[in-house]
Amino acid sequence: MTSHTTLDGKKALVTGGSRGIGAAAALRLAREGADVAVTYVHGKEAAEDVVRAVEALGRRAVALRADAGDAQEAAGAVGRAAEAFGGLDVLVNNAAVGLLRPVESLSLDDVDRLIAVNIRGMFLAAQAAAALMASGGRIITVGSCTTHHTPGPGSTLYAMSKSAVVGLTKALARELGGRGITANVVHPGPTDTDMNPVDGPFADAQAAMTSLGRFGTAEEVASAVAYLAGPDAVYVTGAELAVDGGYTA
């Protein structure tokens, strides 16, 4: 474990933490000293790999199967993480699904699924965390650059769902600030993950839309998450932090 551990003794939950930005966030929080729980739906082996990596850093870790689209599981995962560690200090509300299709082709099932996971699931996890957290708690939601700039057709439903968590974050910041709990949202831009690989069919066009001319890495997004979870961000709440290479500049 590194000597730079700003989160020593903290207990964190990263939803959707088996891969991509979630896995990178879990490992970064562990490097900073936190014990970390991750949730997964289908990626049990990947989640267990994250657990082993966290444990190799000298921290406690647990993988919890929980579908953010299931109301009971979305809220229940927070309680299960707190039970495993004896409390909860940091929630990284990351679990989400993406769907890019022309608006007229979206079915009611598509709409219900994205709302269930990307909006209701994030609300219920935040609600459960708020009930458990003491002063110093952190609720960090992973949003999207599409809340500020939609480059083309097909992202109507996804952008709507991600815009909802901005309102959630700002309202949480107001409601929980008196208790010393902060709430912030990180907006990744084009980021190299399994869902949107840097060598994918639309990658060149996305990279060209950034000021830096490249995709970001999951680790670069995770560094923003770690900042918001740490002591240097004690006076930051209700904020939207873009980690998008200038995509929305």
Catalytic residues: 158
Q: What angle, 0 to 180 degrees and rounded to 10, lies between the N-to-C axes of helices 71-85 and 122-132?
A: 30
Q: Which residues pair with 65 in a beta bridge?
A: 40
Alpha helical stretches, state H, 57-190? 71-85, 108-114, 122-132, 156-176
Closest CA to 228 of 136, 133, 161: 136
| 88-to-25, 45, 164, 166, 177 alpha-carbon distances in Å | 16, 24, 24, 22, 17
Residue 242 pairs in a beta bridge with 187
Contact status, residue 62 vs residue 18, Cβ threshold 8 Å: no
Place of tokens 């923003």: 224
Report which secondary-structure segment, H or E, holds 241. Answer: strand 240-243
Task: Give Rg (Cα) of the chain.
Answer: 17
Measured CA to CA, the distance from residue 249 to residue 211 in angstroms comes to 8
Distance in angstroms (rounded) separating the CA atoms of residues 225 and 210? 21
C-alpha span between 34 and 10 (Å, rounded): 5
